[in-house]
Structure 1
Amino acid sequence: MTGLPPAIFLMGPTASGKTGLAVELAQRLPVEIISVDSALVYRDMDIGTAKPDTATLAAAPHHLIDLIDPTGVYSAARFCDDALTLMADITARGRVPLLVGGTMLYFKALREGLTDLPQADAGLRAGIEAEAADRGWPALHAELARLDPESGARLQPTDTQRIQRALEVVRLTGRPMSDYWRAGRAAALPYQLLPIALVQADRALLHERIAQRFDAMLGAGLIDEVRALREKYPLDAAMPSMRCVGYRQVWDYLEGGYGRDEMRDRGVFATRQLAKRQLTWLRGMQDIIQIEPGAAEAGQKVLSMVAAELARERGQST
Structure 2
Amino acid sequence: MSNQMPVINLMGPTASGKTALACELYDRGNFEIISVDSALVYQDMDIGSAKPSKEEQALYPHHLIDIITPLEVYSAAQFVDDSTKLIDQIHAKGKTPILVGGTMLYFKALLEGLADNLPNADEKVRQHIEHEAEQNGWEWVYEELKRVDPLAGERFKVSDRQRIIRALEVYRLTGRPITQLQSEQPKQTAYRYNFHNYALLPDRLELHGRIEQRLKKMWEIGFLNEVESLIEKYNLNENLPSARSVGYRQALDFLKNSDRSHKSKLEMEDKSLFATRQLAKRQYTWLRSLQEAHTFKTYLTIKQAQEDLRNLHG
Q: TM-score, normalised by structure 2?
A: 0.87
Instruction: Find out whether 1:260 has 2:261 as its counterpart.
Output: no
The answer to whether the 8 Å contact 2:43/2:68 transfers is yes
Aligned match of 1:299 in 281, 300, 306?
Answer: 306
- In structure 2, stretches of 5+ residues that fail to align are none
CA distance in 2: counterparts of 1:127 and 1:174, whole angstroms: 16
Residue 138 of structure 1, CA deviation = 6.9
Aligned AA (1:169): V
Aligned AA (2:301): G
Greater shift, 173-182 or 276-285, is seen at 173-182
User: What pairs with 1:99-248 in structure 2 (closer than 5 Å)?
Assistant: 99-116=99-116, 117-129=118-130, 144=145, 147-148=148-149, 151-152=152-153, 155=156, 158-184=159-185, 186-189=187-190, 190-200=192-202, 202-248=203-249
The answer to whether the 8 Å contact 2:7/2:196 transfers is yes
1:296 alignment partner, SS class: helix
Q: TM-score, normalised by structure 1?
A: 0.86
Residues 125-172 of structure 1 deviation map (CA, whole Å, 9 limit, x = unaligned): 345445656776677667656654654555565443223322332344
**RMSD over equivalenced CA pairs, Å:** 2.6
CA distance in 1: counterparts of 2:46 and 2:8, whole angstroms: 25
- In structure 1, stretches of 5+ residues that fail to align are 311-318
The answer to whether the 8 Å contact 1:199/1:290 transfers is no
Residue 124 of structure 1, CA deviation = 4.1
Give the length in aligned residue pairs. 306
User: What pairs with 1:29-44 in structure 2 (closer than 5 Å)?
Assistant: 29-44=29-44
Cα 1:102–1:139 change in 2 (3 A) is farther
1:255 alignment partner, SS class: helix
User: What pairs with 1:9-24 in structure 2 (closer than 5 Å)?
Assistant: 9-24=9-24
Residue 100 of structure 1, CA deviation = 0.8
Greater shift, 290-299 or 80-89, is seen at 290-299
The answer to whether the 8 Å contact 2:200/2:302 transfers is no
The answer to whether the 8 Å contact 1:41/1:67 transfers is yes
Instruction: Find out whether 1:284 has 2:285 as its counterpart.
Output: no
Aligned AA (2:235): P
Cα 1:277–1:147 change in 2 (3 A) is farther
Identity of aligned residues (%): 51
